[in-house]
Chain A
Amino acid sequence: MSHTGRASRRWSLAAALCVLLALTVLLGVRFGSVALSTSDVLAALGGGGDPANRDIVLRLRLPRVLLAILVGGGLGVAGATFQALLRNPLAEPYILGISGGASVGAVLVLALGLVAAGSWVLPLAAFAGALVAIVLVFRVATASGRAMDVRVLLLAGVVVAAFFSACVAFILAVSPARTVQSAVLWIMGSLAAASWQAVWLTAGYTLPSTLLLIGLARPLNLMAIGEETAHYLGADVEGVKRVSLVVAALVTASGVAVAGVIGFVGLVVPHAIRILIGSDHRALLPLSFLAGGVFLALADLVARLVLAPTEIPIGVITAFVGVPFFLVLLRRNVAVA
């Protein structure tokens, strides 16, 4: 693949993902427990048509699809960032226990009645939980005082995630059911509580954070090669590491605050994009956002339709796709190491 070939492939992929995203929105809005025709949907989006249909499209389905895109996009970007910082394609907010930490933060403040679901503060509580998880997991992984052992990091992440999920279950068990919504939401993720308020809130945290991370794409390219090399090439290693870890944690937390713990998006999406266009984060990060959005919106569609009218938790769908993917990657990784 020639140099210009790779560049033009990036633009083709970006265009394809934009078309796919538009189609996904259309599909997501059209299908559900009440099937609408494309013309119903277009009429409703234009502000006309049958008022009941308009209600379904504008108040229920459109915010749900947009929320899926924002949360999925954010998880894709966060995954790609963690992978660059840890120089490992297996790193991901869910596997590292960061999503779990965020869910404990969110559930805790809800259970204590400090904030209501949909509050602007909820993502910050989730963010605090995510930071606790990062510190905990990284401390364990660097305990030997030497360079971070990635296998220990992944193991620590899994164990810490199990602990956080136990914390969530405990908090849910001892608090009045209505204050914290459903347990399924926090443990397997759900977009059922989507609202315009949730869309604005997630967009407010996710979009600026994503832009900031894209702005760090060039130093992240160097960090993915090694911190010492990045230092000698003129990157502010400690600064980039701190800012991008914190921002990626914030993106993860804002997704968890509205949709609960959804695993593997940050693993599958950046990996697929890398296969198509390589590892340059200037392209990888924005394309991971688009592809993450498409992936999660489609997963949500499947979650709603397969056993309709029963909804499957969306984390089940992403795990069904993500776990085999993870195992293949792990096998290859261990073989290389």
Chain B
Amino acid sequence: MRIRAEGVVVRYPGLDAAALDDVSVTVEPGTLYAVLGPNGSGKSTLMRALLGGSQLAAGRVTLDGRSLDGWDRRERARSVGVVTQSETISFSLTTREMVAMGRYPYLGALASEGDDDRAAIARALDACDVAGLADRDVTTLSGGELQRTRIARALAQEPRALVLDEPTSSLDIRHEMAILELLRASADAGMTVLLITHGLDTAAQFADRMLLLDHGRLAAEGTPSEVLREDVLLQVYGWPVSVHADPESGTPRVTPRRAPK
């Protein structure tokens, strides 16, 4: 699926500055696209804008060339799976029940799960390595387990695009890498993957292209070596960094410098 934003502007009531100011981006099918930027630069707002979660003051968003308004809710949910930054779980729920919620856009109000649904749920549980936790109460899962369960729920939607807001921020390196490898493999299999992250190095390792936001504006866009440049990062993050090519892969590595004494 091709996700495209053209001149998108989002304003929040009571704030003078636009949360997103004239942002255009195209995410092609089969690519892993990273959205980077400092805290409050508009990364999550961009995600919401692309998925009908926030009102556009100007501009337009299309999914596969069709304006977002032209998508039925359930049809959109069958095509795009989303993992938000966090959610509060107030009630007891098993891991399997949580993942099965990904089948919501496929099922009528009173229909029960069919073979297709069960197969999709089982595949998603396996892909995220949570099949062994299927009968556990999600309130008893560790942060990493819960995060993988939420990604499994998005995969159970059998989407053509995945959008994830800092999915690996609470994970150790093994689980972080496992999830990024999973996302990379999904992109290689033709899925569109949009990843919001603070991890400049991991984004450089896994993303085909990336976008850097600064105060709601597009600061840079392109391949990792085009975007991750010392001068650009200094300007956007307000902190000096050095950028070197990784000796093995050649992808850029970003090392923040110590504050000058």
Given contacts A1-B135, A233-B104, A235-B73, contact A274 B82 (CB under 8 A): no
Within 8 A of B (CB), among A74-101: 83, 87-89
- Having A226-B87, A234-B73, A278-B93, one finds 4 other A-B pairs with CB under 8 Å, namely A3-B135, A89-B91, A222-B104, A229-B82
* B90 neighbours in A (Cβ, 8 Å): 87-89, 224
A232 at the interface (CB under 8 A from B): yes
Option from B52, B78, B98, B107 in Cβ contact (under 8 Å) with A218: B107
Option from A3, A229, A232 in Cβ contact (under 8 Å) with B96: A3
Contact count A vs B, C-beta below 8 Å = 81
* B84 neighbours in A (Cβ, 8 Å): 226, 228-229, 232
B4 to chain A, nearest CB (A): 19
Which B residues lie at the A interface, using CB under 8 A? 14, 51-53, 73-78, 80-82, 84, 87-94, 96-98, 101-102, 104-105, 107, 109-110, 134-135, 157
Which A residues lie at the B interface, using CB under 8 A? 1-3, 6, 83, 87-89, 145, 215-219, 221-222, 224-226, 228-229, 231-236, 274-275, 278-280
- Give B14's nearest chain A residue, CB to CB: A145
Alpha-carbon gap, A164 to B248, bound state (A): 72
Given contacts A222-B101, A232-B84, A233-B104, contact A278 B94 (CB under 8 A): yes
Alpha-carbon gap, A278 to B14, bound state (A): 41
* A89 neighbours in B (Cβ, 8 Å): 90-91
* B92 neighbours in A (Cβ, 8 Å): 274-275, 278-279
Is A218 a contact partner of B135 (Cβ separation < 8 A)? no
* A221 neighbours in B (Cβ, 8 Å): 101
Is B109 a contact partner of A218 (Cβ separation < 8 A)? yes
B234 to chain A, nearest CB (A): 33
* A226 neighbours in B (Cβ, 8 Å): 84, 87-88
Is B74 a contact partner of A234 (Cβ separation < 8 A)? yes
Is B91 a contact partner of A279 (Cβ separation < 8 A)? yes
* A274 neighbours in B (Cβ, 8 Å): 91-92
Is B87 a contact partner of A231 (Cβ separation < 8 A)? no
- Give A219's nearest chain B residue, CB to CB: B104
* B80 neighbours in A (Cβ, 8 Å): 232
Is A232 a contact partner of B77 (Cβ separation < 8 A)? yes
Option from A6, A87, A216, A231 in Cβ contact (under 8 Å) with B94: A6
A216 to chain B, nearest CB (A): 8
A214 to chain B, nearest CB (A): 9
Given contacts A3-B135, A215-B110, A278-B94, contact A236 B89 (CB under 8 A): no
- Give A1's nearest chain B residue, CB to CB: B135
* A229 neighbours in B (Cβ, 8 Å): 82, 84, 87
Is B104 a contact partner of A234 (Cβ separation < 8 A)? yes
* B98 neighbours in A (Cβ, 8 Å): 225
* A2 neighbours in B (Cβ, 8 Å): 135
* B74 neighbours in A (Cβ, 8 Å): 234
